A = this chain, B = another copy of it.
């Protein structure tokens, strides 16, 4: 592969990567406290780290050491409020905090949840829906999108929720919602919790409390199978600011309307492929990306190329390949470029599933009509020419906790929790997202996930330039001559061929 436009490496701070000391006896502090005034952690959290459900004292066993340290640091510096914990944490040295964290992180977890609170089917459904599907229409991505499948946590920024006590989760969500807790990464939880009702907070807290804390992190495909089967009557997706009746005549039907027949089976096959593409369409995928990484909310979100309005625009001429494309050919294009794979045949189960899923999402949309809401939402022209150096800073501050310091994404077991943005496991040089303008528009309207709208127009352009300035798999249309390939296929805002884009790159 060609090394593309090279930009000076940026040092990205990562929270608590290596342990700070191993000589302090964590168990002693947990069970007996310290002479400097730290009370014994076990008094509230237990020597087994189970916490106390009724009191709302959190389970610490199973949290990562990094996360526990970061919270102790926050208590000590008073960035996190808690009358009990602030003096305790302040009384611990850095080494002692690390030792306590290592102790709790090293405990094994019970297989079953501490509490088996009876909860009604309706409330359980609400909780599960928030956890696994989200409420994108009101700015709430699925909890599992960050906290991992079944809420087993994604180190080091997104703590385990499975088996955490409901009273504790609820108290934290209420604290974020009320502006009393501030130490969340990027302010994501303040934003998300602010969009949850009290009853939703109850429901989702109960849901995660009922998950088995010690359950192995199951393979994505297994979890996805369950998630894909969830049918919900939740309101269809809508993007906040544009959600006015006259602008939004169309919404996709809820999944509860997927028919219980052969067509419905194909629709669910398509949904599974869509949300877990490497797992369900591995024969045609050459990287770590799923369709849903760019088409958020299961392909329903207006600002991220929703599939219903896209479906009714095909067949359609595309300048990219100079021909009229059927919906199947368009999908094959995604597999070739965005998935860096190979095109599924038109009559394959993968293709038929995706087309059936898109047709379901398009139910009621007018055929052969440009609905004006397909595609990534627009972004204004950049005030200044996009600068990858400025973008590197935006990236470090806003993107690195999910997508990694080198754009490598975050894995959870064998699967990716957060997609890689460059490198061999990401989209290739033929994908739409390698164009700075496309990436900028996507980022501006959708990132950071759960706090979209947070980045300025300039930030979005700059960070798009940073992401797209890195190397990635070769364009499948590469003919052995970089200059010729660039001239033929890359006459737009991109870094293909180790050259920066021209002056037109900011619009």
Contacts and interface: CB of A to CB of B under 8 A. Distances in A.
B368 A364 contact: yes
B352 A315 contact: yes
Contacts of A308: 367
A346 interface: yes
A261 interface: yes
Interface stretch (A18-26, A129-137, A321-329, A426-434): A321-329
B346 A328 contact: yes
**7 tightest A-B contacts by CB?**
A346-B346, A362-B367, A262-B317, A363-B368, A266-B324, A315-B356, A359-B368
A362 B355 contact: no
Interface string A287-319: 000000000000000000000100110111100
A263 B369 CA distance: 13
A366 interface: yes
B368 A366 contact: no
Interface in A332-378: 346-347, 351-352, 355-356, 359-360, 362-369
Contacts of A355: 315, 326
A493 to B, nearest CB: 24
Contacts of A266: 315, 317, 324
A348 to B, nearest CB: 11
Contacts of A346: 326, 328, 346-347
B364 A363 contact: no
Given A352-B326, A356-B324, A316 B263 contact: yes
Contacts of A263: 315-317, 324
Contacts of A316: 263
The A interface is mostly helix, strand or loop, or mixed, namely: mixed
Interface residues of A, number: 33
A366 B364 contact: yes
Given A314-B359, A360-B368, 19 more contacts: A262-B317, A263-B315, A265-B324, A266-B315, A266-B317, A266-B324, A326-B347, A328-B328, A328-B346, A328-B347, A359-B367, A359-B368, A363-B369, A364-B366, A364-B368, A364-B369, A365-B367, A366-B366, A366-B367
A325 B426 CA distance: 32
A262 B329 CA distance: 16
Interface string A226-249: 000000000000000000000000
A363 B366 contact: yes
A312 B356 contact: no
A329 B266 CA distance: 15
Contacts of A323: 262, 352
A266 B317 CA distance: 9
Interface string A256-280: 0000011101100000000000000
Given A326-B328, A347-B326, A261 B359 contact: no
Contacts of A261: 317
Contacts of A366: 363-367
Contact of A324 (B311, B312, B352): B352
9 contacts: A308-B367, A315-B352, A326-B347, A359-B367, A359-B368, A363-B368, A364-B366, A364-B368, A366-B367
A253 to B, nearest CB: 9
Contacts of A347: 326, 328-329, 346
Contacts of A352: 315, 323-324, 326
A152 to B, nearest CB: 35
A368 B307 CA distance: 13
Contacts of A368: 359-360, 362-364
A284 to B, nearest CB: 16
A369 to B, nearest CB: 6
Most B CB atoms within 10 A — which of A324, A360, A363, A369? A324
Interface in A357-401: 359-360, 362-369
A316 B262 CA distance: 9
Nearest to A353: B324
Nearest to A343: B347
A318 B216 CA distance: 41
A366 B249 CA distance: 12
A346 B327 CA distance: 11
A324 to B, nearest CB: 4
